[in-house]
């Protein structure tokens, strides 16, 4: 017999997480539903001098490439920053999180005072299943490469500067990318 989890049950689990118990602290038992985005990945011929494993993000093309070798990359379709929120530079993956909580930065909460201080892991969390935290000179930039529960945002200019992948793709990327990985944003 298949067990059906209702929205009230999910909300109750989220409330437990906020209170310090439940999946957020007990190994995060959240599962990615099958309808949360097929993989958008494919291999592309691209000549580069970057080392294998380096991430190259093109905000103009809305792609994230992981260098395989000097002539090929694995390419993912992504959602990028909307007008006025794009940025460029070289950063590193400074931390990683499974089923991260989302804490909107102060600037974001200033633009929208109705945003919560924190959103626990789960179906309403905009960071999705995994997050790679981007750092510059050892400091958190507050930008992330993360999953999303809104798969229709992939391929759009939709974020406040973060890079969104389907949950299917971020799960794969998360397992392949170690802390310290170089990330080039163009």
Instruction: Point out the residues of the chain with pLDDT beneath 50.
Output: 1-28, 35
pLDDT tens for 94-129 read 999 999 999 999 999 999 999 999 999 988 899 999
The one catalytic residue in 11, 36, 124, 146 is 146
**Residue extents of the structural domains in the chain:** 35-185
| Burial class of residue 149, CB neighbours in 10 A (0-12, 13-18, 19+) | buried
Among 30, 140, 150, smallest CA distance to 78 is for: 150
Q: Any catalytic annotation for residue 162?
A: yes
Q: 179, 177, 166: which is closest to 40 by C-alpha?
A: 166
pLDDT at 37: 72
Contact (Cβ atoms closer than 8 angstroms) between residue 168 and residue 39 = yes
pLDDT attached to residue 29: 52
> If one looks up domain 35-185 in CATH, what number appears?
2.40.440.10
- Phi, psi values for residue 182, rounded to 5°: -75, 135
146 a catalytic residue: yes
How does DSSP classify residue 153? Answer: G
* Whether the model pTM is above 0.85: no
Phi then psi dihedrals of residue 38, to 5 deg: -70, 165
């Amino acid at each position: 017999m298949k067990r059906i989890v209702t929205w009230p049950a999910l909300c109750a689990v989220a409330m437990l997480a906020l209170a310090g118990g439940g999946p957020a602290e007990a190994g995060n038992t959240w599962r990615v539903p099958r309808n949360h985005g097929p993989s958008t990945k494919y291999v592309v011929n691209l000549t580069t001098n970057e080392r294998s494993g380096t991430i190259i993000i093109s905000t103009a093309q809305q792609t994230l490439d992981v260098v395989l070798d000097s002539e090929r990359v694995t390419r993912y379709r992504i959602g990028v920053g909307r007008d006025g929120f794009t940025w460029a530079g070289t950063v590193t993956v400074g931390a990683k999180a499974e089923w991260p909580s989302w804490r909107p930065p102060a600037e974001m909460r200033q633009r929208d005072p109705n945003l919560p201080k924190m959103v626990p892991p789960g179906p309403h969390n905009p960071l999705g299943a995994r997050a790679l935290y981007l750092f510059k000179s050892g400091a958190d930039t507050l930008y992330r490469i993360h999953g999303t529960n809104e798969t229709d945002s992939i391929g759009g200019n939709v974020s406040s500067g973060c890079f969104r992948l389907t949950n299917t793709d971020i799960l794969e990327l998360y397992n392949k990318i170690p802390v310290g990985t170089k990330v080039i944003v163009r």
